[in-house]
Amino acid sequence: MSDIPLFKVTIDNISIEVPAGTTVLNAARMIGGEVAPPAMCYYSKLEGSGGKCRTCLVEVSKGSEKDPRPMPKLVASCRTTVMDGMEVKNITSAKVVDARASIVEFLLLNHPLDCPICDQAGECHLQDLSYEHGKEGTRYEFQRRTFKKHDLGKYIQLHMTRCILCYRCVFTADQLTKKRAHGILDRGDHSEIATFIEKNLDSDFIGNVIDVCPVGALTDKTFRFKNRVWFLKPMDAHRDCPTCSGKVTLWNRGDEVFRVTARKDQWGEVEDWICNDCRFEKKKTSDWVIEGPRLIDRHSVIAQGHYAGTVGMHKPTETFSAVHHGRQPKLLMDIHSVSEVNQADIDLSIIAGPAHSNNFNSNKD
């Protein structure tokens, strides 16, 4: 390591020394906080990713110590390596903020605004980005692109209309699985994620494409429409898995495991890849050793359930009988005897795919 020279780079007036060859984006992430540009396609754990979405554009106001001329155009920070003495403006540059807002609008051109249906809503990077830049509406008046529906098997649901062509899932399949079965077909406006010959995605680590997808294009079919992420209780859990690290986040409602995902760090990137078995097959609390509630950024809608701390681990203690000398409260109505929601005999979490009308109506008569 010692033979790699350290370069001093200044991002938004904050200086940091980073090894040569570091990208501007990674240097900004080392500083952390708001200085780090958002990234929709770059993924630090995937080799070759980045350079496609243009959301990480920054202004280089001074090229380097030796050649202090500014770069003529905004550059993609995930693909630009630092130079010694480089000065970068991210949120301090009005040009960058303006360009980023326009890029969000371009990304949303063909993106259907169907967040109410989409399972990614609440943890979607594109949703966050558009709200951050005030571009949650649309000015686009024309027909959005549509695609023939492809079935990717029983685990992964593809919504091609939502795809922003970040290529992350392609890199994931290349780098994590033995054989990539899907890819981007056609080009330009017609390019789409597909398997060409209808083929199931079933390699062992292919489930990770769900986690790397920044939008709701690839979602978990075993979780499809089951619940909204902000009603679930995220908890760190692990199990002895022969193929992967087994460190996951469980998304519970009560004791039902609705979804299993990898743990994500502050940049929304997976910490440890997990295998399909952990992700799709282990939907019982007894399969897992629960470590505790996962810390969720308090600005996230997922934090609205207030499960942080020890609250999520224990049921609240009933104080009534304690203060009334053992007398039990008189129950005026048991909500479960009336309510049709969350019935004991319909366990949504263990239905293989999304629930349908027959799941709900079969026991009615």
Partner 1 sequence: MEALTTRAKEVSRKPMSFAESLYIPNILKGMFITFGHMFKKQPTIRYPEQKREFSPVFRGLHVLNRDEQGRERCTACGLCAVACPAEAITMEAAERLEGEENLYREEKYAARYEINMLRCIFCGLCEEACPKDAIYLSETFAPANYSRKGFIYSKEDLVIPNPLTDPEGYAKAKGAPRAINN
- Dihedrals phi, psi of 74, to nearest 5 degrees: -65, 140
- Output 156 or 348, the one with its CB closest to partner 1: 348
Helix (H, G, I), strand (E, B) or coil at 343: coil
> Residue 88 corresponds to which tokens in the numbers above?
């970068």
Q: Minimum CB separation from partner 1 for residue 349, in Å?
A: 12
339 near partner 1 (CB under 8 A): yes
Does 230 bind partner 1 (CB under 8 A)? Our answer is yes
> Under rule CB under 8 A, which residues in 108-167 are in contact with partner 1?
114-117, 121
Give the one residue of 78, 108, 164, 348 binding partner 1; rule: CB under 8 A. Answer: 348
Q: What minimum distance in Å lies between the beta carbon of 283 and partner 1? A: 17
Residue 258 CB, shortest distance to partner 1, in Å, is 12
- The yes or no reply on residue 344 touching partner 1 (CB under 8 A) is no
Select 61 or 227, whichever has its Cβ closest to partner 1. Answer: 227
Point out which span in 66-74, 197-205, 284-292, 327-335 binds partner 1 (CB under 8 A): 327-335
State which of residues 66, 333, 345, 364 lies at the interface with partner 1 (CB under 8 A).
333
Least Å from the CB of residue 145 to partner 1: 18
Among 224, 238, 239, 264, binds partner 1 (CB under 8 A): 224
Region of 187 (left: φ > 0; alpha: ψ -120 to 50; beta: rest) is beta
Cα–Cα nearest to 283, from 253, 309, 307, 312: 253
Segment near partner 1 (CB under 8 A), from 61-69, 83-91, 194-202, 222-230?
A: 222-230
3-state SS, residue 282? coil
* Separation CA 218–CA 65 (nearest Å): 44
Q: Is 350 in the site for partner 1 (CB under 8 A)?
A: no
State the first-to-last Cα distance of the chain, in angstroms, to the nearest integer: 71
Handedness of CA 34, 59, 170, 223 (dihedral sign): positive
> Which residue stretches of the chain are H helix?
24-31, 94-107, 125-132, 168-176, 208-212, 276, 320-323, 335-338, 357-361
Distance CA 297, CA 165 (A): 27
Give least dist CB 225 to partner 1, A: 4
- Dihedral of the alpha carbons of 256, 353, 43, 190, in degrees to the nearest 10: -160
Cβ nearer to partner 1, comparing 71 with 115: 115
CB of 113: closest distance to partner 1 in angstroms? 9
Q: Which residues bind partner 1 (CB under 8 A)?
A: 114-117, 121, 224-228, 230-231, 301, 304, 332-333, 335, 337-342, 348, 353-360
